[in-house]
Structures are given as structure tokens and as C-alpha cells.
């Protein structure tokens, strides 16, 4: 079927390729003219036959909200917009209502798979009305992995549910990654285990901890056995924060996911104000030595 695709970045570019391989007619738009099939959003829409389906794959937050607003002025009654980005689920209700007021349809779709999706397919979690999901099913089927549909695709609820499910998916991902990471550090710290990469590689088959993330860790260790080409500095892109916020909203204990989130925050601090306070307190009550701040802070000198 025909699809407009807004946003041809790391994700959208690959998705266009996968869709085309499956025989779909994709008209992509991106501000980068080298990647774009259209000169403007308006141009892209003009190249699509009604009823149109447009997939939005731009950064979450204001860029997505603005794209949806612009599309709402360009599209015609009955056209369908699918937000496949990492929007917060709270944006979906507003988007759906705004589009609905103009007779337009809306689906939100959580997409997982990263740069590997082109080859492996993307896990898809969709929110919205049943008839809209069915209408876009050929697209979903082309994007999702080979194998039984229900193992890589689900219509999980009304508008917002797709992004909600993706948010929780990513929250889990934070916890999984941190669990492997703590294990890696513990193996590294041990004198007994002499070959850490071989140990982790041996977990790929048969063990309880085998997973795709473990395979990726093996890949990373293959090229950098001590992971010392990079720094332990980790960004976060929002879903982990939102997951903890939802845990708070629903009074659900989330010690693992929040610990993984906080570990990322801490990884980005050159120095921890909190630990300065603890150091100051120890110095106050026990006369314990503190480390002076300063350019030679790495020297470990005490005063």
C-alpha cells in the first residue's frame, strides 16, 4: 500500500527501505533533501492518494506535536496519521483529539529494534481504533519481524496504549542492561575469572540469561574486550524517566528500573554534590579526611 513517511533519520530511513523491499509505495519526507522524496510536507501529501496514511517518525516532544499539527492542516477527512516515534503516551490523547476534530484518524505505535530493525524487523505495539489498525496492517506486517504476527506485533489498547507499552518496554530495557552491566563489572573485579569476554560469550546458548542484549554485549566485547575505548557516560532519552513517573502515579514499587535510571544520572556527573555532603558530614563528626576539589582531583590526594 501507499504510505507517507515523515522523518528519514536513523530509524525512518531504514524503515522506508524495509517497507519498499516488502513492495510498499513509500513517499518519504525529510528536511535533508538527499534523503527526501518530497520537497515539503505539503508536497509529500500531494503525492499520496486519499485516503492517505502518513507515518510520523521524528523526535518526540515538540517536533512530533508540530508535525501532527501541520499534517492536520494538509490532510483530508478519513486520512490516517501514525506516530511511530518515542512520544510520551500523554501526547497521544491530545494528538488523537486534535486530529479527530478535523475528521482525521490516529494510531500510536511503539517501535523497538534500533538499527537492527532493517534486517530483523521491528517489534510493534499499537494503540488506537480497531478499524484503523486493520487498515494499516499491511504496513505493520512489513515492518514487524518474520514469524507469527503476535510475536512481534500487538494492538494493545486505545490511543496512547502503544506508546505506553513501548515506554514500559524501555523501562524494562534499562533494568536488563544495568543487570548485565553490574555482572560485567563484578566479573572484571574478580581475580578468579580470567577471561571475562569468553565467560559472557559462553552465556549465549543454554543459559537462563541468554538474550539479544547479551548477544550485543558479546559483539561489543569482541571488538573491545575491556570496554576501555569508551567512557561510562550514559544518556537517557526519556522513557526510563516516564516509566518511573508512572510507577509513582500507580504506587508501583520499581526499585530496579529506578536504580538503572539513577545510575545513568550518576554516570554523567563529574562530581556528586550529594557525596560532597556525605564527605563533609564525615569530616565534621569524625575528622575524616576529605579530598580537595581542584584540577588534580584525580590524584587521590587527601588533606
| Residues labelled as active-site residues | 166, 173
Omega within 30 of 0 (cis) for the link into 51:
yes
User: Around Cβ 277, how many Cβ atoms within 10 Å?
Assistant: 10
Select 101 or 251, whichever has its Cβ closest to a second copy: 251
Chosen residue from 34, 49, 131, 271 binding a second copy by CB under 8 A: 271
Sign of the alpha-carbon dihedral angle for 193, 195, 201, 202 = negative
Distance in Å, CB of 108 to a second copy, minimum:
10
Select 104 or 260, whichever has its Cβ closest to a second copy: 260
Burial class (CB within 10 angstroms; exposed 0-12, middle 13-18, buried 19+) of 216: middle
Distance in Å, CB of 4 to a second copy, minimum:
23
Q: Is 60 near a second copy (CB under 8 A)?
A: no
Q: What is the footprint of a second copy within residues 76-105 (CB under 8 A)?
A: 89
Q: Is 276 near a second copy (CB under 8 A)?
A: yes
For residue 184, which of 148, 224, 145, 156 has the smallest C-alpha distance?
224
Select 52 or 241, whichever has its Cβ closest to a second copy: 241
Distance in Å, CB of 84 to a second copy, minimum:
13
Q: What is the footprint of a second copy within residues 185-244 (CB under 8 A)?
A: 185-190, 192-195, 198-199, 201-214, 216-217, 219-220, 224, 227-235, 241, 243-244
Select 18 or 105, whichever has its Cβ closest to a second copy: 18
Q: Is 153 near a second copy (CB under 8 A)?
A: yes
User: Around Cβ 215, how many Cβ atoms within 10 Å?
Assistant: 13
Q: What is the footprint of a second copy within residues 246-265 (CB under 8 A)?
A: 246-248, 250-265
Q: What is the footprint of a second copy within residues 120-139 (CB under 8 A)?
A: 120-125, 127
| Cα distances (Å, whole numbers) of residue 299 to 22, 267, 273, 293 | 58, 20, 19, 11
3-class state of residue 100 by DSSP = helix
55: left (phi over 0), alpha (psi -120 to 50) or beta: beta
Chosen residue from 6, 45, 180, 239 binding a second copy by CB under 8 A: 180
The end-to-end CA distance of the chain, in Å, is 71
- For cell 503476535, the residue is 150
Select 51 or 183, whichever has its Cβ closest to a second copy: 183
Chosen residue from 62, 116, 134, 225 binding a second copy by CB under 8 A: 116
- E strand or H helix at 242, and its extent? helix 239-249
Rounded to an integer, what distance in angstroms lies between the CA atom of residue 48 and that of residue 64?
Answer: 20
Distance in Å, CB of 70 to a second copy, minimum:
26
Amino acid at each position: 500500500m501507499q504510505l507517507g513517511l515523515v522523518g528519514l533519520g536513523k530509524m525512518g530511513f531504514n524503515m522506508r527501505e524495509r517497507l519498499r523491499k516488502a513492495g510498499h509505495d513509500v513517499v518519504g519526507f525529510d528536511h535533508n533533501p538527499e534523503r527526501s522524496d518530497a520537497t515539503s510536507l505539503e508536497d509529500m501529501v500531494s503525492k499520496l492518494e486519499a485516503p492517505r496514511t502518513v507515518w510520523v517518525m521524528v523526535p518526540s516532544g515538540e517536533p512530533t506535536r508540530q508535525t501532527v499539527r501541520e499534517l492536520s492542516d494538509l490532510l483530508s477527512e478519513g486520512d490516517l496519521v501514525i506516530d511511530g516515534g518515542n512520544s510520551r503516551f500523554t501526547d497521544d490523547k491530545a494528538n488523537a483529539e486534535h486530529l479527530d476534530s478535523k475528521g482525521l484518524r490516529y494510531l500510536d505505535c511503539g517501535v523497538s529494534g534500533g538499527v537492527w530493525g532493517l534486517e530483523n524487523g521491528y517489534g510493534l505495539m499499537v494503540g488506537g481504533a480497531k478499524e484503523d489498525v486493520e487498515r494499516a496492517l499491511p504496513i505493520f506486517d512489513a515492518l514487524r519481524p518474520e514469524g507469527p504476527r503476535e510475536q512481534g506485533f500487538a494492538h494493545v489498547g486505545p490511543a496512547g496504549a502503544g506508546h505506553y507499552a513501548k515506554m514500559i518496554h524501555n523501562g524494562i530495557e534499562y533494568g536488563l542492561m544495568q543487570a548485565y552491566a553490574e555482572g560485567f563489572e563484578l566479573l572484571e573485579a574478580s581475580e578468579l575469572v580470567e577471561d571475562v569476554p569468553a565467560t559472557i560469550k559462553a552465556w549465549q546458548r543454554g543459559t537462563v540469561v541468554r538474550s539479544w542484549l547479551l548477544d550485543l554485549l558479546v559483539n561489543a566485547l569482541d571488538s573491545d574486550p575491556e570496554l576501555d575505548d569508551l567512557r561510562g557516560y550514559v544518556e537517557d532519552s526519556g522513557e526510563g524517566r516516564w516509566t518511573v513517573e508512572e510507577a509513582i502515579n500507580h504506587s508501583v514499587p520499581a526499585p530496579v528500573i529506578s536504580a538503572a535510571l539513577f545510575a545513568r544520572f550518576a554516570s554523567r556527573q563529574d562530581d556528586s554534590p550529594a557525596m560532597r555532603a556525605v564527605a563533609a558530614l564525615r569530616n565534621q563528626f569524625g575528622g575524616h579526611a576529605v579530598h580537595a576539589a581542584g584540577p588534580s582531583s584525580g590524584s587521590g590526594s587527601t588533606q
